[in-house]
Every structure is written in C-alpha cells, then in structure tokens.
Amino acid sequence: MADTVRIEIRHEPFDPWQETSAYQQGITAGKSGAVASFVGTMRDSNEGEAVQAMTLEHYPGMTEKHIREICEQAGKRWQMLDCLVLHRVGEIQIGDAIVLIAVWAAHRGDAMDACRFIIEDLKSRAPFWKKERLANQERWVESNTTGYSK
C-alpha cells in the first residue's frame, strides 16, 4: 500500500493540475522519482449521439471504500509511495474533469502501471451510475467503454 492515499468524491468542479501540484507539495521531497496521472473529462458524444451533460451518482461510503480497496490492490502489486484519487459526482458539463488519479513512485514503471490499474478497475467496477442528457431525452449509461477507440 502507498504511504499516503487520499480519496475524495466531490460535487464541485476541480482543476486536476492544480490539485496534483497542491498534493505534491505535501509529499516528502526526494522520495519519488515519478508521478503518473490520468484525467478523465466529459465528452460531448457517446454511442454515436451528442451528449449535452451528465449526472453522475454514487453510493456514499461504499464508493470510497471500493476505491480504497482498488488502491490497496495496486499497492500490493507496485511500489507506490502516494496516491490521489478525486472523482466528481452530480451535474457534469462538457469538458469538466470527472476523475483524477495520480500515483507517485520511485520509478516510472510502478507509477504508470499502478495508475492504469486503478482507473481500469474504477471504470469497470466502482459503484457509479451515469445518466446522460441528450437533446430530446435522458438515458442511463449501461456500460463503460473499453478505453480504446473502436
């Protein structure tokens, strides 16, 4: 497990680069040689249709617990020093940051692999529910993308 893990679920928009920089200021200097980050943002389309906005719901308490378990699993596989996971809920607009994952490690391989593992598990198993607002309707998203273009 990482020395420090911070997990936050937020209703308000955030700047992922400012959050990463601020978090890094509190980390013991010189321990990490690498930081890998992932920022997921709101797209304007999904499944071939224009999306105007999205409401993201979660199960309070359960969601944070699940994300912590993901980070613990990553910490058992890779040498993480610190980990930051921020995730939005509520009304999300096009271009808004939805999720930030940042992993600090002594070496780039550990940081990059742990970061990838955390986002892939979070996207496939964490208890979040998305409702997209289209021009004439709303719809629940039944499954997440694979993370690759078709």
pLDDT in tens, 100-144: 999 999 999 999 999 999 999 999 999 999 999 999 999 999 877
Q: Are 40 and 97 in contact (CB under 8 A)?
A: yes
Q: Encode pLDDT of 23-32 as tens digits.
A: 998 886 678 8
Burial of 149 (0-12, 13-18, 19+ CB in 10 A): exposed
Q: Indicate the pTM of the whole model.
A: 0.92
Give the CATH fold of the 4-25+32-139 domain. Aldehyde Oxidoreductase; domain 3 (3.90.1170)
- Give the type of residue at 59: Y
Q: Where are the domains of the chain?
A: 4-25+32-139
| DSSP result, the chain | --SEEEEEEESS---HHHHHHHHHHTSPTTS-SEEEEEEEE--SEETTEE--EEEEEE-TTHHHHHHHHHHHHHHHHS-EEEEEEEEE-EEEETT-EEEEEEEEESSHHHHHHHHHHHHHHHHHHSSEEEEEE-SS-EEE--S---SS--
Q: Encode pLDDT of 44-76 as tens digits.
A: 999 889 999 999 999 999 999 999 999 999 999
- Give the type of residue at 103: V
